Structure 1
């Protein structure tokens, strides 16, 4: 057979192989990537009795799966995929140290690995519970697979978590839409975004605590749909008279952002991991600011964007955009919202803190 014939045969075999794989994926779940409504619960080995305060300190932080400022392949500043366990423990130790320094009552975490090859299979939620003053935690996966056959990623279980000093009830995972522009195979292995919600009760009052991490690389209207679903869910809580506090990484810019594209840390140009242009999305966050309280009031952000930037992909540059938020349907304590920009080498996101009066 000629070389041309061989090439044609190989293409036919590749197509047949892909068809077989797609049939297998559709019929069952061989890599176990499907995620249901399950939430994993954690407890500290040594619990501490903490009286419930009149004012809660809330903190939200994308901890970059304990990766510190290692240059990973998806940011195009480097090519790392896998960390050594010693690196993960060192980075998690620094994160825990900063958390203890702030001493929040509630911590909302995004990008926490609990059983992933890339982070040496360290359960980062359990690590934080064991090495901070929190007694309880809830975790919901958003990226899970026994094996991901791409970039050497391998086994993955990563998601969002909420840590609390007090026992909570009613933890649940609310799924968000997948990126519909991706083909079936990519969607099967890709992240399944969610809202994690827990209920905190004290003296007959309850507070719904929620965290989320929305799509970063959607090229269609998936992120807009996720924001709309999130807003609708908050509205339902508000209409029922339920107090809520929401924190997370929205991968969206606030209104009045002076820069919306061409950020100086953008190194990706292949289209796959580009998250550099928000110019068509600048109004998407308006409903949240219009209807609810922000830890960083919009007027304050408008006066000085840079004071509240919370993200950059370049460890050698300063934060250059705000994509992390805290919202509530009750008033936060005046001027208590802060963006902690001093820890640039700990994660590619800066944490945000705020205080909320529990007697409202």
Structure 2
């Protein structure tokens, strides 16, 4: 956790603007990476330095324009060979220090050398949360790991919950939770176990009467969207959404939005598959405590299609007043 200056305190009854965005390590949209196709035979292995610089400029532009109070970012590289060993969070903070004095970060993939033909070098990937408001503590909670070879596990992703706590004037605090869950794998229950642990944390916060907001890339379609997806694209998802594990809590976008007549407005991913010509699915969400009241929400689609294979989801909430 880092706060470079004294940031303002969160106020009871304040409107809170939240964004979640998977930045795809600033690679941009001019590639089909080896893992982007169902057969894992995409031709590209890394972005150019010029494309990474372009994406950095574009992310800064969008964040300055929107100025959310909290930003949940996924897939930020640090020390990865594929992005020239950049510390991408440091690059963002340098450009946005006047807007976001506070940040927290946690690795969920880190290895000095991955002996995989498409990588053959270091990897480092983070969750990062930017805040305009004061933070006083943070923790990384390890989620259950995918099944697999114990020899391969040190090189794989280790998804986590990055939980940041914001003190509230008049007492109490808000929990801001950032995550990027594993994709669905046939025959494994990793998503179920990760969501079950997430639900346990949310239940605990509710019992403690601590308001919370959870945002990230869940790698899960909402109920009803599987059959609407092109048949080739369905292989990455379970026929029955695992999101029901969190159905006790309000979700943005809500079920009636992702399954309604205007569901395209809520698509948050534009895959790097040449067979897909535009955003076609929802996999990024913001869940929130019933103590928070949703004001409005949207996906910023039109001017963000070239920045990442995910689009920023934005929501505003009203915090509970002092009781």
Q: 1:331 to 1:315 in 2, by over 3 A?
A: farther
Alignment of 1:127-138 (within 5 A): 127-132=91-96, 133-138=99-104
> Can you list the C-alpha shifts for 1:294-313, whole angstroms capped at 9, x where unaligned?
22222222213322111132
Alpha-carbon shift at residue 49 of structure 1 (Å):
5.7
Q: Give the corresponding residue for 2:311.
A: 350
> Can you list the C-alpha shifts for 1:69-122, whole angstroms capped at 9, x where unaligned?
132111137422233333322211111111111110100011111221111122
> Can you list the C-alpha shifts for 1:153-195, whole angstroms capped at 9, x where unaligned?
4111102111111231221100011111x21222221111100
Q: Give the corresponding residue for 2:298.
A: 338
Q: 1:214 to 1:275 in 2, by over 3 A?
A: farther
Q: 1:357 to 1:172 in 2, by over 3 A?
A: same
Between the two structures, name the one with larger relative contact order (CA 8 Å, sep ≥ 6).
2
> Can you list the C-alpha shifts for 1:227-274, whole angstroms capped at 9, x where unaligned?
11111111111111111100011101112325366455x4xxxxxxx9
Q: Give the corresponding residue for 2:178.
A: 211
Alignment of 1:1-360 (within 5 A): 41-44=1-4, 47=5, 52=10, 54-69=14-29, 70-76=31-37, 78-132=42-96, 133-150=99-116, 151-180=118-147, 182-203=148-169, 204-219=171-186, 220-257=188-225, 259=227, 262-263=230-231, 266=233, 275-279=235-239, 281-282=240-241, 284-289=242-247, 291-304=248-261, 305-314=263-272, 317-330=277-290, 332-334=292-294, 336-342=296-302, 343-360=304-321
TM-score under structure 1 length normalisation: 0.79
Q: Which has the higher helix share?
A: 1
- Gapped runs of 5+ residues in structure 1? 1-40, 267-273
Distance 1:74 1:275 in 2: 13
Distance 1:93 1:165 in 2: 20
Q: More displaced, 81-90 or 144-153?
A: 81-90
Is 2:101–2:131's contact at 8 Å kept on the other side of the alignment?
Answer: yes
Q: Please provide the CA RMSD for this pair.
A: 2.2
Structure label with greater radius of gyration: 1
Distance 2:177 2:3 in 1: 19
Is 1:311–1:321's contact at 8 Å kept on the other side of the alignment?
Answer: yes
Distance 2:90 2:80 in 1: 14
For the residue of structure 1 that corresponds to 2:278, the secondary structure is coil
Distance 1:101 1:301 in 2: 26
Q: How many residues align?
A: 306
For the residue of structure 2 that corresponds to 1:338, the secondary structure is strand
- Gapped runs of 5+ residues in structure 2? none
Q: More displaced, 152-161 or 243-252?
A: 152-161
Is 2:33–2:272's contact at 8 Å kept on the other side of the alignment?
Answer: no
Q: 1:244 to 1:189 in 2, by over 3 A?
A: same
> Can you list the C-alpha shifts for 1:111-137, whole angstroms capped at 9, x where unaligned?
111221111122111122222211111
